[in-house]
């Protein structure tokens, strides 16, 4: 079964850090470009960033609001992708989804909730 | 930064046709994708590469494009189609992905 499972969400204070994980199964992870998307309460979907497959250079790209604060990494030996979030702000509060378009229809996890609040 | 523009809301009666537009300067060059998003659920891809429909998506969902505007059409709208719809594409460099602001489809 093709599956993505996010974990690591929780409550963190402004300025704090959190690392989200996404476990992939059921597809060739090494070929997949992995993306993080978020949805803040009452807001729309927002692209956070993406890491390409290592065979495609492993390039990482980030949306402007998170560039310099968030870091995406992947471990192909474990079929895992991570989102390291530093210097968190209240506006980073959202459900964070891991997704890949390795196939059509694309694959999404159920999401993990991050709340940034003092 | 690159933006995709959608109307905030569209309302139709059951059985009617709903059309949701998405405008962006890079759309003639870059593909557009459409997602259906319901509360508490992950997004569901309903149209990809401008006009293609994934397996399992009802035939009443279709996509079209004209110039810098892409349109999601839902023919014979059903109550279960009530949801938020988002278009997604890439800027002209092909690097940065962006979502439209979303359109709330209300089935009257």
Confidence of residue B92 (pLDDT cuts 50, 70, 90): confident
- Please state whether beta strands B9-12 and B103-107 pair in parallel, antiparallel, or not at all (unpaired): parallel
pLDDT grade, residue A14 (50/70/90)?
very high
CB count within 10 Å of CB B67 equals: 9
pLDDT of residue B2: 86
Percent of chain A with pLDDT over 70: 100
A63-82 burial, b for 16+ CB within 10 Å, e for fewer?
beebeeebbbebebeebbbb
pLDDT at A29: 97
CB-based contact, A4 to chain B, within 8 Å: no
Per-residue pLDDT at B1:
78
Mean pLDDT of A24-46: 97
Model confidence pLDDT, tens digit, residues B18-57: 999 999 887 778 899 999 999 999 999 999 999 999 999 9
In this prediction, residue B26 carries a pLDDT of 74
- Inter-chain residue contact B96 with A47, CB threshold 8 Å: yes
Q: Does position B78 have pLDDT exceeding 80, yes or no?
A: yes
Query: Is the omega angle on the peptide bond into residue B43 within 30 degrees of 0, that is, cis?
Result: no
Please give, rounded to a whole number of angstroms, the shortest distance from the CA of B98 to a CA of chain A. 6
């Amino acid at each position: 079964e093709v599956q993505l499972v996010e974990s690591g969400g929780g409550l963190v204070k402004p300025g704090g850090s959190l690392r989200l994980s996404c476990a992939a199964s059921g597809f060739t992870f090494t070929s997949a470009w992995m993306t993080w998307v978020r949805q803040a309460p009452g807001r729309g979907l927002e692209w956070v960033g993406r890491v390409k497959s290592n065979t495609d250079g492993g390039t990482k790209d980030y949306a402007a609001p998170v560039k310099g604060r968030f870091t995406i990494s992947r471990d192909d030996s474990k079929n895992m992708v991570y989102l390291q979030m530093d210097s968190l702000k209240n506006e980073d509060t959202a459900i964070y989804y891991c997704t890949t378009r390795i196939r059509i229809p694309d694959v999404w996890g159920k999401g993990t909730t991050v709340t940034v609040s003092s | 930064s690159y933006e995709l523009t959608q109307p905030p809301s569209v309302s139709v009666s059951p059985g009617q046709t709903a059309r949701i537009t998405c405008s962006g300067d890079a759309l003639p060059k870059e593909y557009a994708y459409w997602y259906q998003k319901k509360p508490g659920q992950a997004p569901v891809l309903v149209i990809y590469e401008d006009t293609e429909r994934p397996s399992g998506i009802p035939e009443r969902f279709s996509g079209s494009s004209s110039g810098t505007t892409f349109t999601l059409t839902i023919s014979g709208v059903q109550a279960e189609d009530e949801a938020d719809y988002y278009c997604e594409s890439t800027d002209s460099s092909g690097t940065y992905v962006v979502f439209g602001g979303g359109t709330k489809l209300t089935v009257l």
